[in-house]
């Protein structure tokens, strides 16, 4: 019972309006980040094989039929889940969210290195992906403390 009360207390500090705004802002930054800002470098370094078999990273043409972009929905949901983590912890401490940023960035980089042998591709992808994560985290932390 005490842990339920603690959970309620944790969520009572969330400013839901700022949370909703922050999720949309972070998602919009991501849309820009992976298209106009770094989309070209990202796609090249990614070695992305499409459902139709085309390697989009070496400019092979996609022949897929137009379909609902599930990836965008997954990304939106995971953005919302990660953002909520900051909204739960940041009102109580600035150092816990900073520790999350550092820990998750390190984790992501080491996981990526297992998947990408080539150092150049690794550095490009790590800079773009972890860079976006850090920017997203800063936005969430700032908005959660408003
Ligand atoms: Zn395709």
Domain ranges of the chain: 13-144
pLDDT for 31: 95
- Would you say the pTM of this structure is higher than 0.95? no
pLDDT of 3:
87
List the pLDDT tens digit at each of the 146 positions of the chain. Answer: 678 888 888 888 899 999 999 999 999 999 999 999 999 999 999 888 998 999 989 989 999 988 888 889 999 999 999 999 999 999 888 999 999 999 999 999 999 999 999 999 999 999 999 999 999 999 999 999 88
Provide the percentage of residues in the chain whose pLDDT is more than 90. 78
Beta bridge partners of 49: 55
How many Å lie between the centroid of ligand 1 and the Cα of residue 45? 18
C-alpha of residue 27 to centroid of ligand 1, in Å = 24
pLDDT value, residue 10: 84
Task: State the distance from the centre of ligand 1 to the C-alpha of 84, rounded, in angstroms.
Answer: 33
Q: How many CB atoms lie within 10 A of CB 128?
A: 19
Ligand 1 centroid to residue 30 C-alpha, Å: 22
CB under 8 A, 24+ apart: contacts of 95-100? 97/137, 97/140, 97/141, 97/144, 98/141, 100/137
What is the CA(137)–ligand 1 centre distance, in A? 32
Distance of CA 67 from the midpoint of ligand 1 (Å): 10
pLDDT, tens digit (0-9, with 9 covering 90-100), for 34-59: 999 999 999 999 888 998 999 989 98
CA distance 47 to 58: 8
The rounded Å distance from CA 43 to ligand 1 centre is 14
Q: 47 CA distance to ligand 1 centroid (A)?
A: 13
Distance 2 CA to ligand 1 centre (A): 52
pLDDT for residue 1 = 60
């Amino acid at each position: 019972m005490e842990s339920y009360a603690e959970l309620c207390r944790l969520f009572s500090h969330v400013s839901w309006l700022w949370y909703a705004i922050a999720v949309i802002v972070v998602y919009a930054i991501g849309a820009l980040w992976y298209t106009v800002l770094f989309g070209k470098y990202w796609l090249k370094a990614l070695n992305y094989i499409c459902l139709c078999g085309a390697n989009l990273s070496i400019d092979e043409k996609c022949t897929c039929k137009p379909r609902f972009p599930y990836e965008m929905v997954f990304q939106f949901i995971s953005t919302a889940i990660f953002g909520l983590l900051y909204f739960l912890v940041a009102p109580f401490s600035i150092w816990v969210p900073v520790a999350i940023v550092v820990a998750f960035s390190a984790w992501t980089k080491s996981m990526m290195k297992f998947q990408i042998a080539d150092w150049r591709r690794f550095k490009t992808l790590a800079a773009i992906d972890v860079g976006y994560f850090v920017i997203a985290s800063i936005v969430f932390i700032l908005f959660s403390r408003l």
